[in-house]
Amino acid sequence: MELAVVILAAGKGTRMRSQLPKVAHPIAGRPMLSHVIDSARALDARRICVVYGHGGELVREQVPAPDAVWAEQAEQLGTGHAVAQAMPHVSEDVVLILYGDVPLIRPDTLRDFVGRVAPDRLALMTLEMDEPGAYGRIVRNAAGEVQAIVEFKDADDTQRAIREINTGILACPRAFLADALPKLSSNNAQGEYYLTDVIAMAVKAGLTVEAVQPQFAWEVDGVNDRVQLARLERIYQQVQAEQLMRAGVTVLDPARLDIRGTVQCGEDVVLDVNTVLEGDVSLAAGVRVGPNCLIRNSCIGAGTVVEANSIIDGADVGEACQIGPFARLRPGTEMAARGKVGNFVETKKTRIGPGSKVNHLTYLGDTELGSGVNVGAGTITCNYDGVNKARTEIGDNAFIGSNSSLVAPVTIGKDATVGAGSVITRDVEAGELAVARGKQRNISGWPRPQKKD
């Protein structure tokens, strides 16, 4: 049977106390709604329809989903009314209803859940809670069959004592839903069209309501304020950390790891505290990442060590390299095997050849280093003239003395040497020594400046 997923995302979220619509607030660096859409995609749904309302244009801007259709709920008249706005876009056999502020529902859970639906049967996701609070209650008959959902505000004391609650997630035949929605009434305590009323309608029509509970309670947790948002963030991160550890990664403190994207790790990777992994990250076997590091959209080769407080962004790093501490590799950086970038070194659009070393206090922009190059402390490639960028090329086994400025475009040949403190504005041929600095003068009797009163 073909599946359509309707995601309700029209709520304002006043308790978030934010100008940003609730479903656009992030979990793991991405809007909550994006996580729900990803789960829908994992089900191979033929149609994904997002019902939007408050801040709708901002939501659509923050959550690009070209494969989804968007239905506006101009007035928030309840969940039943919201689903009704989606129905003109839905023609599939089965409709699954999800929520944009319930971001951690797992595709495996939903796949089993949707599989329960038949022309004469719908699936309802419920949860047993010790303290069910203000959730709607699941009412069953003496045989244990689901008969209805009663919202808390409409429930009597006996019904409020029920511990099984409605999560809101529902899957049912489209034909039944299309027939039931126009029959909903707003004659209730909140004056809204409750989607939950379709359960009693289904029972009356002779359909079976199969209640299914998720494997983990946090899968159906919703977000209403920033406290709940932070709690789900930590749950998400804990799950990611556990997956890595089961795959052979050492995470020194799972509570201090943040994954905000897709991570692939080989065996025996070690992640120290406060590691942040963003975007698409690949860490080969034996990579060690020190504390307080950010790695974004980068690949790091086997055996490489990243020391503390380093940032690697858009870089491709080879095997057995050393990076940091306090290094910054910006987009377009490539390091070949056994390269070294030390403390307080910044690189951008730079290729560092095999075994080359840039040990400390250096900026390399738009630069290519051959193999075995040594770059002394305080070296700068002056790649920007205020308008245009230019490249610097440094040949194999060249030696760049400390505190040198290489004014691009310029080429330093193979085995060439640049004397410390030089400002190089012309090419240096292979094997040459370039010394470009002012002649030293020693002045006797020069009066040192005195502090003024």
- Whether 436 has a binding-site annotation, put simply, is no
Cis amide prior to 409 (ω within 30 degrees): yes
360 annotated active-site: yes
- Whether 79 has a binding-site annotation, put simply, is yes
Q: Which of 302, 303, 297, 294 shows the shortest CA–CA distance to 315?
A: 297
The secondary structure of the chain in percent helix, strand, coil, rounded to multiples of 5, reads: 20, 35, 45
- Whether 374 has a binding-site annotation, put simply, is yes
- Whether 437 has a binding-site annotation, put simply, is yes
- Whether 332 has a binding-site annotation, put simply, is no
- Whether 274 has a binding-site annotation, put simply, is no
Query: What is the spatial distance between Cα 390 and Cα 89, in angstroms, rounded to a whole number?
Result: 54
Query: What is the spatial distance between Cα 433 and Cα 190, in angstroms, rounded to a whole number?
Result: 85
- Whether 9 has a binding-site annotation, put simply, is yes
Maximum Cα–Cα distance for the chain, whole Å? 108
- Whether 445 has a binding-site annotation, put simply, is no
Query: What is the spatial distance between Cα 301 and Cα 347, in angstroms, rounded to a whole number?
Result: 18
- Whether 340 has a binding-site annotation, put simply, is no
Give 224's DSSP letter. S
Enclosing H/E stretch for 159: helix 157-160
Could you tell me the two tokens for 403? 């505190």
* β-bridge partners, 352: 335, 369
- Whether 86 has a binding-site annotation, put simply, is no
- Whether 379 has a binding-site annotation, put simply, is no
Query: What is the spatial distance between Cα 197 and Cα 185, in angstroms, rounded to a whole number?
Result: 9
- Whether 365 has a binding-site annotation, put simply, is no
Report CA-CA distances (Å) from 337 to 140, 316, 318, 350, 447.
66, 11, 5, 15, 53
- Whether 120 has a binding-site annotation, put simply, is no
- Whether 166 has a binding-site annotation, put simply, is yes
Query: What is the spatial distance between Cα 375 and Cα 395, in angstroms, rounded to a whole number?
Result: 12
Q: Are 232 and 221 in contact (CB under 8 A)?
A: yes
- Whether 384 has a binding-site annotation, put simply, is yes
- Whether 348 has a binding-site annotation, put simply, is yes
- Whether 33 has a binding-site annotation, put simply, is no
Q: Is 131 helix (H, G, I), strand (E, B) or coil?
A: coil
Enclosing H/E stretch for 84: helix 79-86
Query: What is the spatial distance between Cα 220 and Cα 168, in angstroms, rounded to a whole number?
Result: 9
- Whether 136 has a binding-site annotation, put simply, is yes
Q: Which of 62, 70, 58, 55 shows the shortest CA–CA distance to 7?
A: 70
- Whether 383 has a binding-site annotation, put simply, is yes
Q: Which of these is catalytic: 25, 35, 81, 360?
A: 360
Active-site residue set: 360
Annotated binding site for acetyl-CoA: 377, 383-384, 402, 420, 437
Annotated binding site for UDP-N-acetyl-alpha-D-glucosamine: 8-11, 22, 73, 78-79, 99-101, 136, 151, 166, 224, 330, 348, 363, 374
Annotated binding site for Mg(2+): 101, 224
Annotated binding site: 8-11, 22, 73, 78-79, 99-101, 136, 151, 166, 224, 330, 348, 363, 374, 377, 383-384, 402, 420, 437
